Structure 1
């Protein structure tokens, strides 16, 4: 906001340029038919009925109470500035030479209102009654006070991070941009708070050189994904069938009459049937039992599901009079047959996650238990959708029931799954329609969540996307109910896992291509292809931003891997493979440049920044394979392109790489475990009596090649063997 503020001589307006106007009409905010919304002159603006309000907007952000400003004249100032921000193309706003010309959305304006309330009321406490008396010293004093946290009993105040403080000076500065518009008060002529400085410069906020969002630690990510995949793919279909049955039963019961005293003979007939068969009485869930006990219910029938028993008799529920008439007989029956929850009494068998042993997926459940499990499986659907798509919180909130689009077949016989949504970030208020191309696991999770929620098309699918809190509840539920042990699931460690962290984790995973569950069970290549296709289909959509984040992380990773390979060569741990000689020569050239730079400009370097600069060109040619590095400098030498018949391609076909023969491929110490793993796998097949002799003969050259590659790695980098068996 580095804008000059003119020294004006014209008097203030006699009345506001917005007097008598409707706020939403001036701002172009859509309302339902026949709804006008608040007028400018009102001190309470309720914008709750905005048609385009997206789901990231909290209801309180659409209620603007200007009476919180003690000085009546400054209420008008706040209203004029905020409406000008909402309507930058309004004629009176266009006459302000330095007004903001881009549209601000109501959420942004609400934050400014909260800051202005604090600023104006602080001035009132300081004895200032007119903005004409505001000075730079007052601005500095207010900013200093806002830099400190609110006092708490027994705790010292702490200074807040400068990166969180930019809104304070920005809200003070913004008033100067609308001097020509203000009618009741304004800053003195020619005064601009912190003139010539942006709000970021005022607070000393550093521009982030890279994404600061931490990824989810692998120790948390792997068990979390394993658990969520199991809940969605194995448990999910069974609980969905059960949820639909419970809800259908409840819907049927809504149209039945109440069971009254005159129906007691029918109850006694059912009691006789149950006594004769020996079947247990229907029980409520464990949670409901605890609630009844907490309320002081110690009767022998506190576990009885009265509504379920009424349903068997053809009624909706027992009246109090009917209950009293049969309580004694039911208590006697309960002592004979006991209680059992009515749902999933004979549940299907599913394989345990850890060893594949077939087990009943659940014990008998009450209706409340069914809905509870469904809620936790929906959490698993949310985690998978976030972790495998890269959606932001705002985009997850805009996913609606019915968002799944018909899949598109690919030329190779695969499928491309699509989700309709909305792009909110950096768009006009309400966002714009968008579409995500996703992998099958995401489509499956969304389809399951639609079944479990039972909501109508167009309603929010997930409701809330506070993943950290929902994950904590899921973890506790698995432990409390014993389902983690029943299903053989891993322990999910404590720790946060927000949508932002999962997005960052996915971006880094695609860029780095690590091992682990994310790479093994869910093909990162498939997610990368889906993201690229989503970008190609909608170049201005959400997946463009996600793909850019992936590419940035990939470039940084390649630079780091190149630096590591260079340091290995310096330490005598040479690469092997057909491309090793040319890579070593390139590194020797860089090493010579470093030595020359040290002679001509001796200085102490605390990091690898200069080295990274020298290696950046080499890093741009790096393509990471699962068992080798490909230095794609010359497409005409790439073996994969020759085999595919595409010599003019711009990128190698890493999936077709034969690194033992390609002149641009190298093997490094980090690749040794991969080749050893291939040897072990081949040995298992060769030793198996079930594998055909011809297949064993085919595998023998593959094993010989892997053994040769390991030997070459060991010979070129003997230091890599330290500590290995």
Structure 2
């Protein structure tokens, strides 16, 4: 058998190594480097716009380590990214233009890496034509031990890529489909023996989680954001002009002017110093001089940007021309003249820090941040040291000016405690402001995700001013990314609370476009034009939110959120289940889930996505019982007056049940005190009438043994639930009628009378109408006895 090593330097027979891998009609970022086919390690997606919910390390296609599988995977990846390329057409492959995006290619590469590892371990033939269908099924069986059906379906699709792109592959691909005539889902279902379902969030977690999120949005967010704004203003006021930054273009201009001066000499080490040999340029000293003491890294060799390389090249030219000045490290700064010493917490002498702390405390206008309540970060009454450091030194870096544990820091803490007075105290509810801001961000994300059915990628692409009108109703605009390379701007209908959550997220975000971003803006010391990253890892914030809600129940009064897995995609599934139970819910889901654009298969997708699972089956049963009990509340109030509230064969049972609830409330002092509480009445009525079914023409006190409708069913199907189509309201002992049903009976009586006035009715037809009219009149005559009802 040929070893993989023999293929290590094997070039592609169809694709030159110098071919750009991103072409066609893609919107490439101008100036960004486009990877070439010959890059065997990975292809970065830097030339494509990265979705907000993807970190940079995940926005690339990474290939298997095995050389042969590496080549195959790169060839398939090229074909997917360039589906209409001339190279594919010459190979006889014709696909829809821009059929796949980088996300799909990345998934394929991940799958190929797993297949490659298994194939090498099992010593499978390198010629794919030598593989039997059972070999591919063996791989699926192996993978099924650690994954579910959706993953297996993606494995099947990836394996079929070896057949789909066979003419493009060096050495050939598959000759035939291992599973002919079967869809990927069918193969996965046959392979996997577990339950096929996307998990939902159980009701026990769903409701308290949403209530907690709304509590943070409506109650806590205004206070937390106001505190952030006050702290920002306090830092700006206390630091004055000490907070300094440098701009890249200013540095470049100063450097250009300096190197053009004939008298400019580059300071180099006169002798070996701390690992730097004699003659080495004193880069940090030159950097401090250019930035007025703010930065030592404008020449940093570890940075691979063109700007840093250009700066080093300009200085190196002076060195090559002999324009250097050897100096010792002690005299290095003096070689360029005076260098400013901005007030910063890092890299400063302890004496200087002490002086600055004393000066800040001496100003009575400066307020000291103090923790109001006990928290995991410290006891009540303790100064919030990191917050204080940012106010004194105008920096958010953790320089430990007050907390390093040395004698110096203990002395500074003592000075602060002695300076605390009531008029100088700035009480802070939670010592860690970043902690509170993260809770607000998580609450906004959870609430919007739950009530819009948007994917994580769509949520994190929401930009400022995205609340719009769509067909006369408020909607949220964002970008659809999944299965759509063009990233269309679509709209999801929302309710007013969601719009409020979006407004809170906008106020929280520092980002110039996106409402979900990292909590801190990019440092002022980064190159000019750095925007900072939009998006965040949502699943970590969800876990963080739930953990902290449960930890602070005694303070917030919220319900505990039970332990369980909650992930972004589960919100979409759960809300789909809830929506699907409403009238025409599938149509609404198809529109909101964005399945409506492909209705040929959307019906099946939407119905499957909204199918109720065991987590929610009992919840909806309870909701039906509650709805029926709420309708009984008015009947209960009327029954208290001693009047009949229902007619029909089952009226006596209904009256007896209502009287039982009234007696229970009157005999129990605790219940009697809460008689005006409708929730208490609903709870009692639900327990008493657990099998009550409300209908249009009558209501059913379901009891299988007396149900007339069961006579229409086979013996093995009787006794399970009411058969509404076979109901006989005037005969069944389970049937009751209230004034809410009267209009339908009265209307039917009028229709029957009008029909009997016709002269051309046949005798049998007239007789049947007269019989039905007598039945209806026996019911309508009783409605006059009712004084109240539903």
TM class by shorter chain equals 0.5 to 0.7
The structure with the larger Rg is 2
Q: Aligned to 2:36, what secondary structure does the other structure show?
A: coil
Match of 1:417 in 2: 474
**Aligned: 1:580 with 2:698:** yes
CA distance in 1: counterparts of 2:353 and 2:126, whole angstroms: 77
Match of 2:448 in 1: 385
Query: Which consecutive unaligned segments of at least 5 residues does structure 1 have?
Result: 1-12, 150-159, 292-298, 346-362, 411-415, 514-524, 599-603, 619-626, 640-663, 665-700, 710-725
CA distance in 1: counterparts of 2:384 and 2:107, whole angstroms: 55
State the shift of 1:202 in Å: 3.8
Change (3 A) 1:286 1:538: same
CA distance in 2: counterparts of 1:504 and 1:54, whole angstroms: 22
2:226 to 241, 249, 257: 241
Match of 2:506 in 1: 450
**Deviation per CA, 1:189-245, whole angstroms, max 9, x where unpaired?**
x5543444444444444999x993454333323322222222111221121122122
1:474 to 542, 545, 549: 545
State the shift of 1:35 in Å: 3.8
Q: Aligned to 1:30, what secondary structure does the other structure show?
A: coil
Match of 2:172 in 1: 186
CA distance in 1: counterparts of 2:725 and 2:95, whole angstroms: 40
State the shift of 1:444 in Å: 0.7
Query: Which consecutive unaligned segments of at least 5 residues does structure 2 have?
Result: 1-9, 244-341, 344-348, 519-533, 626-647, 654-690, 728-737, 751-775, 777-783
**Aligned: 1:171 with 2:167:** no
State the shift of 1:423 in Å: 1.6
Change (3 A) 1:237 1:203: closer
| 1:82-161 superposed matches below 5 A | 82-94=77-89, 101=96, 103-125=99-121, 126=123, 128-149=125-146, 160-161=147-148
Change (3 A) 1:528 1:450: farther
Match of 1:720 in 2: none
**Deviation per CA, 1:47-102, whole angstroms, max 9, x where unpaired?**
3214343235454444334461233xx54333222222233323443466677657
**Deviation per CA, 1:549-604, whole angstroms, max 9, x where unpaired?**
699669x99xx99xx99xxx9x99786776139999xx999856643xx7xxxxx7
Whether the 8 Å CA contact 2:45–2:102 is kept in 1: the answer is no
State the shift of 1:246 in Å: 1.9
CA distance in 2: counterparts of 1:199 and 1:551, whole angstroms: 18
Whether the 8 Å CA contact 1:437–1:534 is kept in 2: the answer is no
| 1:41-80 superposed matches below 5 A | 41-57=38-54, 59-66=56-63, 68-71=65-68, 74-80=69-75
CA distance in 1: counterparts of 2:695 and 2:187, whole angstroms: 55
Change (3 A) 1:244 1:135: same
Deviates more, 1:459-468 or 1:376-385: 459-468
Pairwise CA RMSD of aligned residues? 6.0
| 1:546-695 superposed matches below 5 A | 579-580=697-698, 594-595=713-714
Q: Aligned to 1:145, what secondary structure does the other structure show?
A: helix
State the shift of 1:374 in Å: 1.6
| 1:271-420 superposed matches below 5 A | 281-283=368-370, 305-309=388-392, 333-334=415-416, 336=418, 345=427, 363-364=428-429, 366=431, 369-405=432-468, 416-420=473-477
Whether the 8 Å CA contact 2:84–2:94 is kept in 1: the answer is no
CA distance in 1: counterparts of 2:71 and 2:580, whole angstroms: 52
**Deviation per CA, 1:7-27, whole angstroms, max 9, x where unpaired?**
xxxxxx996333256344445
Change (3 A) 1:536 1:475: closer
Q: TM-score, normalised by structure 2?
A: 0.53
| 1:200-279 superposed matches below 5 A | 200-205=185-190, 212-251=197-236, 253=239, 255-256=241-242, 258=342
State the shift of 1:385 in Å: 0.9
Change (3 A) 1:211 1:328: closer
State the shift of 1:546 in Å: 13
| 1:696-707 superposed matches below 5 A | 705-706=788-789
Change (3 A) 1:344 1:146: same
**Aligned: 1:494 with 2:563:** yes
Q: Aligned to 2:61, what secondary structure does the other structure show?
A: strand
| 1:509-520 superposed matches below 5 A | 509-512=578-581
**Aligned: 1:432 with 2:488:** yes
**Deviation per CA, 1:373-412, whole angstroms, max 9, x where unpaired?**
121012111111112222222221221234334x6896xx
CA distance in 1: counterparts of 2:578 and 2:570, whole angstroms: 12
Q: Aligned to 1:455, what secondary structure does the other structure show?
A: coil
**Deviation per CA, 1:28-51, whole angstroms, max 9, x where unpaired?**
433222445122233244232143
Change (3 A) 1:30 1:605: farther
Match of 1:653 in 2: none
Equivalences, count: 534
Change (3 A) 1:308 1:541: farther
Match of 1:40 in 2: 37
Change (3 A) 1:339 1:549: farther
CA distance in 2: counterparts of 1:409 and 1:85, whole angstroms: 37
